[in-house]
């Protein structure tokens, strides 16, 4: 009886075996391969890479398989792995103006230099369950491929506005200026924008979505327009100290969102459009857009706006955006707390006795 409340090594080992068994499901059904996950659950892989903060499709696929499709658990697995990896150096900032585009749209202009390219988007699909997919589908005709690789870099829409001085200048990257690293130093407040963006980049998509959404419903309205969303591959360049010039070490797929926001101007800043920025690994448009909305909302302090809404409160947003932290702390309530609960029991019983004894005489008095 006493043993019943205690657990042991054997129970944990058995539970681990059950996890493995449940993961596999019916052995008559072929086992999922990492290639299948990488090729057919691409958006799940992208999300795990984003919030897991590690660009590795194979490891993300492995994490998804191991976590039985629980993406937050998969993100946790990937994070716990990435934290042990040595750091070899910092890459140069990726140049998204030189992106090999798969998708690129702007909502602020009917057409833009470089064109609007829909790419693989759910946006204009009818959300009807496709029962043909239930069967193993035969090969469908291949889609007409996007226009040939652009000859030159496709300018960013925000940069077009910038030529007129109608939008604030993009923060210039100061070469050699150290960029704070969220994974190497704890978050401190007030947090500068580079640090905030790092936090948002690995932040939970659902949380950012809700925060971004709240700004659209009056809690810190920022009057946003999608200046541009682009998705495609960019080169990652690194300058090895022994070479002294950049070499391309990888190609990664990213989604970038430039949100253009109305700004009426202040005493020190002229009326002009301001920016909210989102960047995510892979095809992660919802995440990049939500991130851009929240980024802009969090700039309230530097732009001299009143900070009244949750999305403008950096301590609130940045302290609660990480789903590995949130999931852990919420779920730790499952761990035994009986010592503290006993302490509460002792207190509540004592207070209850006092409460009862205070009220009983009053009752008899009232009866008299």
Least separation in angstroms between residue 358's CB and another protein is 10
Instruction: Find the part of the chain contacting another protein (CB under 8 A) among 78-86, 96-104, 231-239, 275-283.
Output: 78-86
Least separation in angstroms between residue 187's CB and another protein is 7
Least separation in angstroms between residue 286's CB and another protein is 24
Least separation in angstroms between residue 34's CB and another protein is 19
Please say which residue, 213 or 316, places its beta carbon nearer to another protein: 316
Is 6 a binding residue for another protein by CB under 8 A? The answer is yes
Per-position x/- string for 213-252, each x denoting binding to another protein as judged by CB under 8 A, each - no binding:
----------------------------------------
Is 308 a binding residue for another protein by CB under 8 A? The answer is no
Number of shown-chain residues binding another protein (CB under 8 A): 50
Is 354 a binding residue for another protein by CB under 8 A? The answer is yes
Please say which residue, 30 or 186, places its beta carbon nearer to another protein: 186
Is 178 a binding residue for another protein by CB under 8 A? The answer is no
Contacting residue, 93, 113, 190, 304, with another protein by CB under 8 A:
190
> From the CA atom positions of the chain, what is the Rg in Å?
26
Question: CB count, 10 Å around CB of 367?
Answer: 6
Please say which residue, 270 or 328, places its beta carbon nearer to another protein: 328
Is 271 a binding residue for another protein by CB under 8 A? The answer is no
Instruction: Find the part of the chain contacting another protein (CB under 8 A) among 7-15, 90-98, 284-292, 294-302.
Output: 7-15
Least separation in angstroms between residue 315's CB and another protein is 5
Is 192 a binding residue for another protein by CB under 8 A? The answer is no
Contacting residue, 83, 233, 262, 266, with another protein by CB under 8 A:
83
Least separation in angstroms between residue 87's CB and another protein is 9
Question: CB count, 10 Å around CB of 184?
Answer: 7
Least separation in angstroms between residue 72's CB and another protein is 11
Pairing assessment for the beta strands 274-281 and 224-238 based on DSSP bridges: unpaired
CA angle 195, 59, 248 (to 5 degrees): 65
Please say which residue, 75 or 157, places its beta carbon nearer to another protein: 75
Please say which residue, 8 or 218, places its beta carbon nearer to another protein: 8
CA angle 297, 300, 303 (to 5 degrees): 130
Is 18 a binding residue for another protein by CB under 8 A? The answer is no
Q: What is the 3-state secondary structure (H, E, C) of the chain?
A: CCHHHCCCHHHHHHHHHHHHHHHHCCCCCCCCCHHHHHHHCHHHHHHHHHHHCCCCHHHHHHHHHHCCCCHHHHHHHHHHHHCCCCCCCCCCCCCHHHCEEEEEECCCCCCCCCCCECCCCCCCCCCCCCHHHHCCCCCCCCCCCCCCCCCCCCCCHHHHHHCCCCECCCCCCCCCCCCCCCCCCCCCCCCCHHHHHHHHHCCCHHHHHHHHHHHHCCCCCCCEEEEEEEEEEEEEEECCCCCCCCEEEEEEEEEEEEEEECCCCCCCCCCCEEEEEEEEECCCHHHHHHHHHHHHHHCCCCCCCCCCCHHHCHHHHHHHCCHHHHHHHHHHHHCCCHHHHHHHHHHHHHHHHHHHHHHHHHHHHHHC
Least separation in angstroms between residue 250's CB and another protein is 14
Please say which residue, 83 or 233, places its beta carbon nearer to another protein: 83
Least separation in angstroms between residue 296's CB and another protein is 22
Backbone angles phi, psi at 275, to 5 degrees: -120, 145
Interface contacts to another protein, rule CB under 8 A: 1-2, 5-9, 11-12, 76, 79-80, 82-84, 86, 183-190, 315, 319, 324-325, 327-333, 335-340, 342-347, 350-351, 354
């Amino acid at each position: 009886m006493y043993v019943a409340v205690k657990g042991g090594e054997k129970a944990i080992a058995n539970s681990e075996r059950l996890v493995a068994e449940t993961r596999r499901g019916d052995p008559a059904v072929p086992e999922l391969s990492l290639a299948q996950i990488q090729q057919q659950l691409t958006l799940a892989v992208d999300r795990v890479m984003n919030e897991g903060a590690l660009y590795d499709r194979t490891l993300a696929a492995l994490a998804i398989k191991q976590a039985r499709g629980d993406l937050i658990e998969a993100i946790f697995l990937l994070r716990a792995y990435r934290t042990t990896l040595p750091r070899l150096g910092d890459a140069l900032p990726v140049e998204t103006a030189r992106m090999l585009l798969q998708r690129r749209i702007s909502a602020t202009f009917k057409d833009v230099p470089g064109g609007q390219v829909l790419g693989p988007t759910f946006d204009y699909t009818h959300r009807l369950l496709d029962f043909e997919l239930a069967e193993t589908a035969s090969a469908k005709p291949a889609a007409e491929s996007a226009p040939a690789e652009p000859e030159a870099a496709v300018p960013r829409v925000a940069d077009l506005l910038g030529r007129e001085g109608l939008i604030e200048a993009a923060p210039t990257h100061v070469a050699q200026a150290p960029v704070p690293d969220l994974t190497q130093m704890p978050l401190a407040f007030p947090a500068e924008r580079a640090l905030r963006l790092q936090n948002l980049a690995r932040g939970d998509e659902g949380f950012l979505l809700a925060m971004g959404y709240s700004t659209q419903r009056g809690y810190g309205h920022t009057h946003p327009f999608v200046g541009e969303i682009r998705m495609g591959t960019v080169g990652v360049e690194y300058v090895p100290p022994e070479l002294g010039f950049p070499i391309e070490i990888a190609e990664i797929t990213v989604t970038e969102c430039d949100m253009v926001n109305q700004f009426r101007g202040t005493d020190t800043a002229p009326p002009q459009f301001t920016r909210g920025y989102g960047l995510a690994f892979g095809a992660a448009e919802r995440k990049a857009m939500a991130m851009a909305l929240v980024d802009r909302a969090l700039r309230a302090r530097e732009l001299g706006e009143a900070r009244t809404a949750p999305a403008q409160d950096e301590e609130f947003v940045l302290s609660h955006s990480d789903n590995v932290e949130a999931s852990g702390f919420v779920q730790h309530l499952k761990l035994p707390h009986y010592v503290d609960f006993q302490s509460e029991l002792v207190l509540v019983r004592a207070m209850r006795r006092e409460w009862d004894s205070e009220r009983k005489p009053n009752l008899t008095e009232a009866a008299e």
